[in-house]
């Protein structure tokens, strides 16, 4: 199956990586994925294997243990893992540092980068980002987990939920309220390490999809965290967290169009192989046109996302609205495509053994996590009305 779509934004280094990434997914992920989904966990070894191939370090400079490269190397990795039959869920596990390490790189000191980025890129430590709470998701400024200064420590009390990799993580980059009134100007980021007294994984969520990716509930009860663990200035965590969302949303948009492409490929093959009424299903015009529509939406999402990602790679500021458009466009494409792919596979589309079933389940959260469809539209609307 040919999922390779010409990409004017990449060079030979990306194409070389594509081969490595595809081999990694084919040999180290795809055969084991059903077992990991049943177990609800990805083995830690997978991170080490990915690190050995330089896959965790993509986009990070060699000085901090990275493999170099740019944002399109990360996108290429995602595209190839999905083209080979991987899943968004497995990526949330093995590439989960993609929403943590950039924040530490952007706002942390050299010492903090050495302590919390290098071991992650080497696959020796796992990390998670904890922003969402039982009472605050979209409303990031409304978080209630408080950190009160006591000498050279903060005392942290509160709860977090929906934290990807939170069960396995060695440390959690945690958004806490430090200002008197909390809100945009009262948010700080603390690295809270597993084993710190008062910090517990209070539960693991049973989900619709992303079954191999653990999703934790965390609690902090009088948890003393050294002030040295604060990333960036006190009360200055909101802006870097928001900026970090741009990379996360483009990664999610990439996961969406790449999953959609995989579903187009699987559906095309199924239409060619499955016979009904004495002929391959591919001879039915209504199904051919359904596939055409799936391909059209996928291509629009891919082209738009790549265009915005190219501007992001160039360091352009003020892209929040375009990033939001890319995410919503790709989510909408994926929602349509996974539903159509299951329909094309008939009853088999509902059976676990058939890959489209997993993509259907994994897709649903893409319009919720990393900022919902509605919040993306609010970002777009704000820009439209700015200055009026």
Ligand X SMILES: Cc1cc2nc3c(=O)[nH]c(=O)nc-3n(C[C@H](O)[C@H](O)[C@H](O)COP(=O)(O)OP(=O)(O)OC[C@H]3O[C@@H](n4cnc5c(N)ncnc54)[C@H](O)[C@@H]3O)c2cc1C
Distance (Å, rounded) from C-alpha 388 to C-alpha 381? Answer: 12
- Pattern 206-245, ligand X, x by CB under 6 A: -x--x----x------------------------------
Q: How far is the CB of 325 from ligand X (least distance, A)?
A: 16
89, 362 contact by CB (below 8 A):
yes
Residue 52 annotated as catalytic = no
Member of 67, 132, 196, 267 binding ligand X (CB under 6 A): 132
Chain centre to alpha carbon of residue 100:
11
Should residue 174 be labelled a site residue for ligand X when binding is judged by CB under 6 A?
no
Member of 201, 242, 368, 380 binding ligand X (CB under 6 A): 368
Q: Which of 37, 79, 246, 248 is catalytic?
A: 248
Should residue 142 be labelled a site residue for ligand X when binding is judged by CB under 6 A?
no
The number of beta carbons lying within 10 Å of the beta carbon of residue 106 is: 15
226, 212 contact by CB (below 8 A):
no
291, 336 contact by CB (below 8 A):
no
DSSP symbol at 102? H
Should residue 372 be labelled a site residue for ligand X when binding is judged by CB under 6 A?
yes
Q: How far is the CB of 126 from ligand X (least distance, A)?
A: 12
191-219 core/surface letters (b: 16 or more CB in 10 A; e: else):
bbebebeebebeeeeebebbbbbbbbbbb
Q: How far is the CB of 4 from ligand X (least distance, A)?
A: 29
Should residue 84 be labelled a site residue for ligand X when binding is judged by CB under 6 A?
no
Q: Please say which residue, 178 or 328, places its beta carbon nearer to ligand X.
A: 328
Should residue 52 be labelled a site residue for ligand X when binding is judged by CB under 6 A?
no
Distance (Å, rounded) from C-alpha 362 to C-alpha 85? Answer: 13
Residues at the interface with ligand X (CB under 6 A): 128-132, 137-138, 162-164, 207, 210, 215, 365, 368-370, 372, 374-375, 378
Which residues have a catalytic role annotated?
248
């Amino acid at each position: 199956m040919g999922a390779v779509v010409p990409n004017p934004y990449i060079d030979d280094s990306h194409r070389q990586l594509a081969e490595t990434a595809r081999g990694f997914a084919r040999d180290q992920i795809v055969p084991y994925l059903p077992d990991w989904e049943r177990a609800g966990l990805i083995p830690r070894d997978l991170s080490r294997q990915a690190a050995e191939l330089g896959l965790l370090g993509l986009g990070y400079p060699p000085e901090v243990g990275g493999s170099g490269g740019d944002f399109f190397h990360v996108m290429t990795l995602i595209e190839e893992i999905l083209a080979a039959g991987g899943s968004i869920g497995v990526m949330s596990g093995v590439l989960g540092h993609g929403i943590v390490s950039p924040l530490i790189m952007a706002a942390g000191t050299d010492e903090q980068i050495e302590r919390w980025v290098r071991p992650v890129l080497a696959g020796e430590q796992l990390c998670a980002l904890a922003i969402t709470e039982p009472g605050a998701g979209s409303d990031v400024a409304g978080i209630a987990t408080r950190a009160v200064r006591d000498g050279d420590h903060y005392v942290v009390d509160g709860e977090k939920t929906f934290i990807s990799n939170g069960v396995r993580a060695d440390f959690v980059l945690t958004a806490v309220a430090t200002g008197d009134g909390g809100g945009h100007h009262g948010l700080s980021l603390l690295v809270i390490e597993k084993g710190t007294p008062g910090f517990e994984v209070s539960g693991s969520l049973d989900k619709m999809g992303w079954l191999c990716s653990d999703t934790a509930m965390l609690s902090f009860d009088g948890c003393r965290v050294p002030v040295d663990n604060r990333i960036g200035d006190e009360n200055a965590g909101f802006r870097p967290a928001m900026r970090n969302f741009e990379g996360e949303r483009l990664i999610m948009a990439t996961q969406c169009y790449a999953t959609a492409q995989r579903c187009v490929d699987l559906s095309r093959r199924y239409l060619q192989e499955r016979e009904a009424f004495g002929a391959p299903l591919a001879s039915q015009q209504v199904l051919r046109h359904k596939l055409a529509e799936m391909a059209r939406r996928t291509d629009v999402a891919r082209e738009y996302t790549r265009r915005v990602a190219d501007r992001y790679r160039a360091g352009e500021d003020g892209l929040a609205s375009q990033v939001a458009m890319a995410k919503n466009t790709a989510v909408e494409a994926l929602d349509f495509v996974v539903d159509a792919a299951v329909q094309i596979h008939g009853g088999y589309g509902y059976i676990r053994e058939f890959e489209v079933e997993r993509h259907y389940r994994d897709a649903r959260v893409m319009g919720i996590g990393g900022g919902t469809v509605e919040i993306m539209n609010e970002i777009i609307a704000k820009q439209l009305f700015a200055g009026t």
